[in-house]
Amino acid sequence: MGKIRLKVVGDEQQEQEQKQKAKARKEGKRAQVKGVGLGGGQRITAVGISEEEIAKELEGKVPEISGVSKVSEAEHKTEEKKSKKGKKSKARVRSKRHTGNSSLIAKKTAYPISAGIDLLRKFKKSNFDETVELHINTRQKGISGQVTLPHGTGKKLRIAIANDDLISEIEKGKIDFDVLVAEPSMMEKLAKVARILGPRGLMPNPKAGTITDKPDTVVEKLSAGQITFKTEAQFPLIHMSVGKVSFDDSKLAENIQSVISAIGPQNITGVTLKSTMSPGIRIQS
């Protein structure tokens, strides 16, 4: 006959308490094995940062990391700007010919017109007939006028007088003139093609003398070498063509003197003579 286990009614509560005590003893032993030197039932306190604290630390560092990236991006952009500025400020590289020609010019010296032309002749030339230019510094802005060069600019101007047929050609996009002269009565019709002529600088203008009651007379003057001059819009500077390198010295000198006289020596602070590809030569006014 097998063993018979007797269960006393009313001892269920005591049995559960014993089970809980036994379970507590087991847990205490396990803790004692993991934490050497601890007594039974003692709790182990983790030394260091808990998972919650690590999460908080990471959350706290996120803005710092993003801030660093923003700073680095800003520094990178600043460096790019500096590099761009550095590229713009690089010294202009001149050709050997230009450098050699510049070495012939005495710095801070204003040459007489004849000496300036003579120096221009000594420069090494290009393989085309360069234009001779004057760049004039004036005392103030707003200076303008007209001058007839005794020997012209060396460029043959194509001059046209506005009429109905010409306006029809312009509307089709056909432009075969350098200067357009018009009577005041034609200006209303020319307004239709102003968007074509304006950007090209071909619209007749009273300041340039190309709007007149006597267009034939203006054409004769322009053909004879009459040119218009005016300062830049923002700076007191006038730029003019006064001939070609192939001109005789006397022709160039007369054209230069005509320009200086028309502007007025009293209005001039400096004159620079040069050809298309040459360095500038300061000349007396």
Each residue of 119-171: pLDDT tens digit?
Answer: 999 888 888 899 999 999 999 999 988 898 999 888 887 889 999 999 999 99
- Cα separation, 255 vs 233, whole angstroms: 25
Determine the average pLDDT of the residues in 261-280: 93
DSSP lists the bridge partners of residue 230 as 144
Highest-confidence range of 37-41, 91-95, 250-254, by mean pLDDT? 250-254
Nearest to residue 102, comparing CAs of 277, 284, 285? 277
Query: How confident is the model at residue 66, as a pLDDT?
Result: 44
The pLDDT of residue 263 is above 90: yes
Query: How confident is the model at residue 269, as a pLDDT?
Result: 95
For the chain, give the DSSP string.
Answer: --------TT-HHHHHHHHHHHHHHHHHHHHHHHSTTPPTTPPPPPPS--HHHHHHHHHHHHHHHHHHHHHHHHHHHHHHHHHHHHHHTSPPPPPHHHHHHHTTSPTT--B-HHHHHHHHHHSPP-SS-PEEEEEEEESSS--EEEEE-TT--S----EEE--HHHHHHHHTT----SEEEB-GGGHHHHGGGHHHHGGGT-S--TTTT-B-S-HHHHHHHHHTTEEEEE--SSSSEEEEEEEETTS-HHHHHHHHHHHHHHH-GGGEEEEEEEETTSPPEEE--
CA dihedral for 125, 129, 130, 134, sign (positive or negative): positive
Report the percent of the chain where pLDDT is more than 70. Answer: 72
Report the percent of the chain where pLDDT is more than 90. Answer: 34
Query: How confident is the model at residue 153, as a pLDDT?
Result: 87
pLDDT classification of 55: cutoffs 50, 70, 90: low
The pLDDT of residue 44 is above 60: no
Query: How confident is the model at residue 218, as a pLDDT?
Result: 86
Structure token digits, residue 140: 């103030």
Instruction: Give the CATH class of 156-222.
Output: alpha beta
pLDDT classification of 100: cutoffs 50, 70, 90: confident
Structural domain spans, the chain = 106-153+225-285, 156-222
Is-contact 189 165, C-beta < 8 A?
Answer: no
Residue 246: C-alpha distances to residues 67, 111, 130 (Å): 68, 21, 8
Using CB atoms within 10 A of its CB, is residue 114 exposed (0-12), middle (13-18) or buried (19+)? middle
pLDDT classification of 226: cutoffs 50, 70, 90: confident
The pLDDT of residue 37 is above 90: no
Query: How confident is the model at residue 125, as a pLDDT?
Result: 80
Query: How confident is the model at residue 280, as a pLDDT?
Result: 92
Buried b / exposed e across 41-69, counting CB within 10 Å, b at 16+?
eeeeeeeeeeeeeeeeeeeeeeeeeeeee
Query: How confident is the model at residue 101, as a pLDDT?
Result: 87
Intrachain domains 106-153+225-285 and 156-222 with the same fold: no
Query: How confident is the model at residue 178, as a pLDDT?
Result: 85
Each residue of 162-214: pLDDT tens digit?
Answer: 999 999 999 988 998 888 999 999 999 999 899 999 888 889 988 778 899 99
Query: How confident is the model at residue 152, as a pLDDT?
Result: 87
The pLDDT of residue 228 is above 90: no
**Tokens 């509560």 belong to which residue?**
13
Cβ atoms within 10 Å of 134's Cβ, excluding its own:
21
The pLDDT of residue 81 is above 80: no
Each residue of 236-253: pLDDT tens digit?
Answer: 999 999 999 999 999 999
Looking at every residue in the chain, the average pLDDT score rounds to: 79
CATH of 106-153+225-285, one of 3.40.109.10, 3.30.930.10, 3.90.79.10, 3.30.190.20: 3.30.190.20
